[in-house]
Structure 1
Amino acid sequence: MIITAQNPASKKLSEEENCIRNKCLQCDLEQYNFEFVSVGNNDFSWAEESFVCRISLSFAIELARKYQQNAIYFVQEEQLFLLSCLSDRTNINLGNWLHRIR
């Protein structure tokens, strides 16, 4: 799973606020092995520092809700998916993950 605490509900926060929020999320993930990644749109004009880790879908959604996130990402068979954490649970294939993660 790929999750961030930055920019809740897609509202741009300051770099300092986003850093504080991600530090809190990092504490929630401290018992899991995780890596830092940046995930963004096609041209990276919108990107968020995120965490990639092996956690259950239910825990990922729980954390996303805690940090007011609209969605989480996951990779399956080289494809990056955006999964809504809102009631609609929309699941969108964004294409090859290598183009959206740095």
Structure 2
Amino acid sequence: MDEGFNLLWQQYQNSCFLLTQALTPPCSFAIITAYNPLGQTLPASHNRLLDKQLQQDIIQSGCAYRAMVGASVDLQHHEKSWAIYLDQHDAYQLAHKYQQYAFYFVTEGILHLVPCHCEQPAVEMGLFADYVRIVEVLPEPRDE
């Protein structure tokens, strides 16, 4: 992979998650977005359309889910995401369908970055709770 991708991979590892209330551990769940497939920055309107398609797939799966936002720690970049209570294999399939380089998977309270459309090793990032920020309202998508 090129230098640009390596920077993106590092940014994935320096993210935070905005939630309006804490998720109840110790359930395993995936965090998946449909925004910006294969790292291509898309207009907010296109990202919203992809997000609605992802939400429909989640609903059809019958899995429990919650809206959240994945963000850079400085909050300058954020992407609508979903905490989805499904196993890692099914999460991989869903993230792959939406052409994501990776997704997050939380098991026993530990956050993992799991590669999807790339050749990186999975990364154990630490306690999910350390990456969570509780907010009153989730930010709206915007053009980057």
Question: Where on the TM-score scale, by shorter chain, does this alignment land: which range?
Answer: 0.7 to 0.9
Q: Which residue in 1 is equivalent to 2:38?
A: 9
Unpaired stretches in structure 2, ≥5 consecutive residues: 1-29, 134-144
The answer as to whether partners of 1:42 and 1:99 remain within 8 angstroms in 2 is no
Does the Cα contact within 8 Å between 1:71 and 1:83 map onto a contact in 2?
Answer: yes
Q: Give the structure-2-normalised TM-score.
A: 0.62
Cα distance change on mapping 1:11 and 1:87 into 2, 3 Å? closer
Query: How well do the aligned residues superpose, as a CA RMSD in angstroms?
Result: 1.8
Higher Cα radius of gyration: 2
TM-score of the pair, normalised by structure 1: 0.85
Aligned pair 1:52/2:86, yes or no? no
What percentage of aligned pairs have identical amino acids? 31
The aligned residue for residue 81 of structure 1 is: 112
Listed as ranges, the gaps of 5+ residues in structure 1 are none
Distance 1:96 1:44 in 2: 20
Classify the secondary structure of the residue corresponding to 1:75: strand
What is the CA–CA distance in structure 2 between the aligned matches of 1:89 and 1:55, rounded to whole Å? 22
Q: When the two structures are aligned, how many residues end up with a matched partner?
A: 102
